Amino acid sequence: MLESVGSLTGSPWIYAAVAVSVVLDVFLPVLPSGVLVITAATAAAGTAAAGTATGAVPHAVPDLLVLTLCAATASVLGDLVAYRLAWRGGERLDRAIARSRRLTQAQERLGEVLARGGPARGVLVVVARFAPAGRSVVSLGAGAAHRRVREFLPWSALAGCAWAGYSVGLGYFGGQWLGATWLATGVSFGALFVAGAGAAYLVRRPAVREQRAGA
């Protein structure tokens, strides 16, 4: 992957690839958008470090700020598309949500949190962005529950910025310390996976407590 991404770092196509991947993974969570963002940042940091070490001016390095903004914007755009589709609903979507116990519980949980408002609403949306498929569940749940866009969009933007900044930061520091190598990418992706596992636990913990209380 490093070689493939490396061939894109000299052109704007790296940003297009990141944007498309991040937008689509709200519908296909199996897409490795986080890996792509991390790998692009790792390649940029590794190339910059090599250029600094040799005294040469590094070329064909994606701008990390633009990369972060690109990933964050694509994240919000994907969230809004999923939100609007779920808002419009339809029998097929309603049946899909009804068949999924996870989506049904998430929709109910999200509705309760959004109704209460306050910090809990923002924490749920931001934390869920790091959890596997959490972004999909929150975006579809908010739309299906017909929550107002002003209740959802600001937190989606904050979640997208936090996720993009964290992912680019992992790739950058990994590339600075270990160079543009598979080891740097693996270590950074491991940190992203740990954050995702922690986020999934935090999102599910209230439901677990409720089940234990009702038992």
* Closest to 107 (Cα-Cα) out of 97, 119, 122, 117: 97
Q: What tens digit of pLDDT does each residue of 44-71 get?
A: 776 655 554 444 444 445 788 999 999 9
Per-residue pLDDT, 105? 64
Q: Would you place residue 3 in the very low, low, confident or very high pLDDT band (cuts 50, 70, 90)?
A: low
Beta strands in 78-142 (DSSP E): none
Please say if the pLDDT value at position 100 is more than 70. Answer: no
Global pTM value: 0.77
- Most distant pair of Cα atoms in the chain: their distance: 66
Angle 189-43-161 from CA coordinates, rounded to 5°:
60
Q: 88 Cβ partners below 8 Å, 6+ apart?
A: 143
Q: 199 Cβ partners below 8 Å, 6+ apart?
A: 127, 128, 129, 130, 131, 134
Rounded to whole angstroms, the Cα distance separating 171 from 161 reads 15
Q: What tens digit of pLDDT does each residue of 137-176 get?
A: 888 878 877 878 888 888 899 999 999 999 999 888 877 7
Rounded to whole angstroms, the Cα distance separating 110 from 47 reads 43
Phi-psi region of 57 (alpha: psi -120 to 50; beta: other; left: phi over 0): beta
Rounded to whole angstroms, the Cα distance separating 134 from 125 reads 9
Q: In this structure, what is the dihedral angle of CA atoms 61, 163, 75, 68, given to the nearest 10 degrees?
A: -20
The single-letter code of the amino acid at 35 is V
Per-residue pLDDT, 215? 42
Mean of pLDDT over the chain: 74
Rounded to whole angstroms, the Cα distance separating 91 from 145 reads 15
